[in-house]
Amino acid sequence: MKLDQLDTPSLLIDRERLLKNLADMQRYADSYGVQLRPHTKTHKMPAIAKLQLQQGACGVAAAKTGEAEVLAENGLQDVFIANEIVGEQKLRRIAALAARGVHIISSRDISAPHLESRAFGLYHEQDGVISNLAMPIWNWGKLYEGIVRSILTGAWSDEGEHNADRAMNYYMGMSTDAIDIICSQRLPTRTRRLVDLLHERIRAGAFLPFVGPIVDQAGQVHVAADVALTPQEIILMDYLAGNVIGRIPSVDELNDVAKGLVSLQGIRAATKE
């Protein structure tokens, strides 16, 4: 069939550009030692999802149960549903997929106010009772808005490593409102005031949490005085600061739920003490 024989609308994909984009994204994830699990909402095509797996993706993500079923019907065996599963009917459909050997994971970003507290974010546990204190909120709209604005103003370039710094800053920075924090009513009033103060200073760029000197628990200086960590360095931190009580457990020490979460988030570095 020739181009002028196609009906409209028709979706046309430049295969060479597609494969280059997939390879570039996988290479970028590999360069930071993280696993890549692309969301299929960007293309809605099992065929492209398979190409992503061929490039090295650890699995794919879907928005809802129906999308996961379509992916599974087309041979994709590792699917993360980026939403909570509600209702007996959907749970039965998920169970049917699992019975066929499809690995399904579902999640939600934060604890809903009408649900009981669970081990998420910052919480306190006493006598087996979990009390949530604070948790992060991701404002994806602000993240995408910042990237689009940088493209429109000509500040964005798809060439060079400097582009990665800008993307990371949009993702990580409270100053861009891409990330916020919500505090529980259980948090003491004075502590809440301190959190609010630090939050506003971080947003204003007046306070940088990751500025040296930063010393690990063994007394080794990782960051010199008055030196700020870059976003990449923050992500790659594999040590605890000296004022932190505890240690980073190995993957073998984690329970099954935690192992699944670590695998889902693409963390590879926590395999050793």
Question: What are the C-alpha distances in Å from 168 to residues 24, 57, 171, 272?
Answer: 16, 20, 5, 26
Under 8 Å between Cβ of 174 and 199: yes
pLDDT at 157: 53
Q: What single letter denotes the amino acid at residue 10?
A: S
**pLDDT value at position 163?**
44
Chain Cα centroid distance, residue 164: 16
13: Cβ contacts below 8 Å, ≥ 6 apart: none
Q: Identify the pLDDT of residue 100.
A: 83
DSSP structural state of residue 241: B
The pTM assigned to this predicted structure is 0.47
pLDDT tens series, the chain, 273 aa: 788 888 888 888 899 999 999 999 999 888 877 888 999 998 999 999 999 999 999 899 998 889 999 999 999 988 988 877 777 788 788 888 888 888 877 655 445 544 555 666 677 777 877 777 777 776 666 767 776 777 777 765 544 444 444 444 434 556 667 777 777 777 788 888 888 888 888 777 788 888 899 999 999 999 999 998 887 788 778 888 998 888 888 878 887 767 766 665 555 444 443
Q: Which residues pair with 131 in a beta bridge?
A: 124
Tokens of 74: 């087309």
HEC assignment per residue over 29-59? HHHCCECCCCEHHHCCCHHHHHHHHHHCCCC
Asked if 233 and 209 count as a contact pair (C-beta separation under 8 A), the reply is no
